[in-house]
Amino acid sequence: APFPEILEPVRRMAHGCASSAWTIGFYTLHNWMLALFSEQAQSEAFATRPFLAPAPLAPTGHGVACNGGIRLTGKWSWATGVMDG
């Protein structure tokens, strides 16, 4: 769905509670961003558990494939929602 359509429930909620609307909108944006990734990435993220993702918009690190996964290195600033990702 187009992003403005996805945000319509958030807009409606904001009339009653701006704080709740911010939280829902925040995670809606991040999950919507993941939905733009490949089908394989979506399957890995969404298939087995509830998914909450922070969305650092200025990534400063890099990932390297290693035995059994990916090793991330770099330095990141604090990002709201990162404790839930």
Report the predicted TM-score, pTM, of the whole model to 2 decimal places: 0.52
Report whether 60 contacts 75 (CB < 8 A). yes
Residues 6+ apart with CB under 8 A from 62: 72, 73, 74
pLDDT per residue as tens digits for the range 22-76: 888 888 887 788 888 899 988 888 888 777 766 656 667 888 999 989 898 888 7
Of 74, 73, 57, the residue nearest 65 (C-alpha): 73
Which sequence spans correspond to the domains of the chain? 3-76
What region, left, alpha or beta, does residue 71 occupy, with left being phi > 0 and alpha being psi -120 to 50 degrees? beta
Of 25, 1, 23, 30, the residue nearest 11 (C-alpha): 25
